[in-house]
Structure 1
């Protein structure tokens, strides 16, 4: 009895803590506590779940993904430096708690929309897409996770959910995305002010859902036991049954929550102290390519558009953009160089930029199609998809960019060359995808683990035998609150540490 009471209290406390850590101001008109009001309208639940999920994503993008993927270097000789693959175990808790708390809200959204007196297929479909998105991030981060029995503490008093295998999770996610596509086929637009991503446009939600579907199919395309089915489905969506699976067709259809600066739509980076925001250095790998390409996102000065110094608000050092090497050995710190401006230094800083609420963009989709075409899975020109992906990655940030993309790519020596090896083509595609997914949750890390691209330099100070971490460990409290299922999961998946590969990474 004591053990059961302990688990009930612990579960309640975890949910409360997650809710407290992710709350936003001024949701009065669009949000109602789903735990206290079971009859809340779907229109009250969507925006808070989106804002809160992006808050978790953006915080960990900044201090976890960007450090692993050599976007930034939080220069320190202390333990727990992510840029050295030295991952503290308690880092696992933040995303686990945050993502599961928002899945609770999205499941409430679906339940509310599916009540007989409501029966709103639009919100039902949107909920399934967003649940699929979050569950995919959870399983890509941790591996096997609670899925089929997750979030049933309130409804079923199940505080010890089983851990589903990653393969089963992915296959069910695909079923959910199929259902969402069907629901949204004949659905009507939703309340515009309830939807900060697409302003209520259900057709754009459907296109995002199918674009996400392609991302996740590609994730499994190298796994031998399912690769044939994944490739066949990619071809169906893009070629043989494209009319039934519309996908994003322009930057305007990218899934981005654009921060207005007015609560509740204020970027979570606003809550970071300005001195902390600019304290982190930019890595060599990230900045050196942009300099070599004469990339317009960091031009000095910008000769067109709105006249800003550079779109990604990177501080030059004596008129140059300079980075620091990632993974350097302790007691061998280089001088700090360029960094991202804070909002008090630069009014267009990424700290307040409206475009940082990234979920998935059109440029990423084009590069997904470029990979599929280069491997012969779909019709269409890999060169065209690649070129359009590179262009869209730039024009998403600078819509008025006047340069010809082919000239830009040729001058930067990154143009598509049909005669190159498939590995060289993948390096080009994934280097462009690296910049296209800048600020996008942990997607750079997920894709690097799948492909090994782009090729990152290895510093002398790396931990984990110099191997990119393959996952995060499970939160420590899971061992005590769900011991039987935790042990079963670890027995099936492997040691609960950062070196254990998840299912889709294994041959």
Structure 2
């Protein structure tokens, strides 16, 4: 399998113009008895999911959490993400890993389409996963190789064009419609091949349609596609609900649960213990939870061992954070932090928590529906969707939690139909912010879309105090695909963190 994944990865790099030298020796690769042409679909899904999630969780910790004021990597050096200051080298890892694994998911589709191994469920799952990863790529970088990506092997396209983000989104919608149709056939897949739903095809279908709603909402603010998005949201949720099943409970959340056995080991365990404890928790993240007496950090809710569900170590008996974006040289002391894992110790840590493999959870869907109902796009009750989002966001981590009304009243976070839409959006998105904890870069992406929740601005922020709008393209793209790189920059704008992607632009 290591050889298999290496070959697939080499093909991904080839088609994206990353390693042009890999073209040499293609005949040998194409006749290798261990190559993907002889793999079965059930051999391809799990490695692609694990590798994608490992990349997502790594950058969730070091990039998303710093930008979105969950943690503060306290240091006065240049290039600190929490100060909106990061080097272009940050771009390489996700770009490379995501394209590597899109290649794996495409190979899954191809293998599942073969007459001898045809399986429509694997085909549908592949299309969902491709759309999931492509959405991460385009939301992170902007216009991307899409229509000509991963075509080095079959079409000898080693310098793919960059498709417009709008066109990428519209094609992803087609792929998700196709996935819904394929999964409706309910072809069986082995439970052992699927680390997310253990072979439950119906749950994959619900995840695909829930992802569809996430992506429709993401671009719904663009006038040129607004009507299309609103109509399709209503179609999925109401008009054709029977044909578009969506998630209905936390048991249907898309989570790759790390078992600690074999390949299903959290990548966070690869972080040194002292490095995991090093970042302080930001004031914004911890102050709300403390003020709300939130069960996820309320010590008694975890059990008699005295630990809280998110394994947060208090400071002098209190949950106290560090202001993000503080000016260098101000000497802010480190306070609360996330506990690390120590072998043989029963103390909890997110490093080995099975729940950290978040792809998309049911509470996020509830908040999507709450926003759509608040805007009048669907007829459901916004308050109900909002309350359910809060309830299941907490229940995802603290299963015994039930009294959401008491919680919201005590926190002064109860729903009100009387306030402005902007106030409703702030309420939805501050709760959604916690529901998206550990979910790749979704907090950052949603903040860029909505401006919510409102984050405090420290005096030490770079980039004129404006949240970075994207990652620049990796430096190697400029040298391996220069003509198309120049073309995309001329159309999208300067290759800077301040250049907005299509769906952000007015």
Contact 1:75 1:333 in 2 (8 A): no
Residue 28 of structure 2 corresponds to: none
Q: How does 1:15-414 map to 2 (within 5 A)?
A: 36-302=35-301, 307-344=305-342, 347-401=347-401, 403-414=402-413
Shift of 1:307: 5.0
- Shift of residue 221 of structure 1? 0.8
Change (3 A) 1:12 1:398: farther
- Per-residue displacement from partner, 1:18-55 (whole Å, max 9, x unpaired)? xxxxxxxxxxxxxxx99823120000000000000000
SS at match of 1:301: helix
Output the CA distance in 1 between the equivalents of 2:145 and 2:312. Answer: 40
Provide the C-alpha distance between the structure 2 equivalents of 1:267 and 1:12, rounded to a whole number of angstroms: 33
- Once the two structures are TM-superposed, the CA of residue 333 in structure 1 deviates from its matched residue by 3.2
Provide runs of 4+ in structure 1 moved above 3 Å.
11-14, 304-308
* Contact kept? 1:305, 1:400, Cα under 8 Å: no
Structure 1: tracts of 5 or more residues without a match: 15-32
Contact 1:210–1:245 (CA<8 Å) still a contact in 2?
yes
TM-score (norm 1): 0.93
Contact 2:430 2:452 (8 Å CA) reproduced: yes
Which residue in the other structure is 1:28 paired with? none
Residue 279 of structure 1 contacts residue 339 of structure 1 at CA under 8 Å; is this kept in 2? Answer: yes
Asked if the contact 1:358/1:439 (under 8 Å) is kept, the reply is yes
Contact 1:34 1:40 (C-alpha < 8 Å) held by counterparts: no
Residue 423 of structure 1: how far off its partner (Å) = 0.5
Change (3 A) 1:13 1:338: farther
Deviation of residue 176 (structure 1)? 0.2
Shift in Å at residue 305 of structure 1?
5.2
Match of 1:23 in 2: none
Task: Tell me, in whole angstroms, the C-alpha distance in 2 between the residues paired with 1:13 and 1:81.
Answer: 35
Q: What TM-score results when the alignment is normalised by the length of structure 2?
A: 0.93
> Which residue of the partner structure matches residue 462 of structure 1?
461
Matched, 1:438 2:447: no
**Shift in Å, 1:301:** 3.0
**What is the alpha-carbon distance in structure 1 between the residues aligned to residue 22 and residue 471 of structure 2?**
22
RMSD: 1.7
- Show CA shifts across 1:360-392 (max 9, x none): 000000000000001100011000000000000
**Shift in CA distance, 109/317, structure 1 to aligned 2, threshold 3 Å:** same
Residue in structure 2 matched with residue 501 of structure 1 by the alignment: 500
CA-CA distance at 1:10 after TM superposition: 2.5
Distance change >3 Å, CA 338–CA 408, structure 1 → 2: same
Contact persistence 1:90–1:475 (CA under 8 A): yes
**Superposition deviation, residue 11 in structure 1:** 3.8
CA distance in 1: counterparts of 2:375 and 2:262, whole angstroms: 45
CA contact (8 A) 2:66 2:81 kept: yes
- 5+ residue gaps, structure 2, are 1-13, 24-31
CA distance in 2, matches of 1:326, 1:182: 46
The question of whether the paired residues in 1 share the 8 Å contact of 2:17 and 2:480 is answered with no
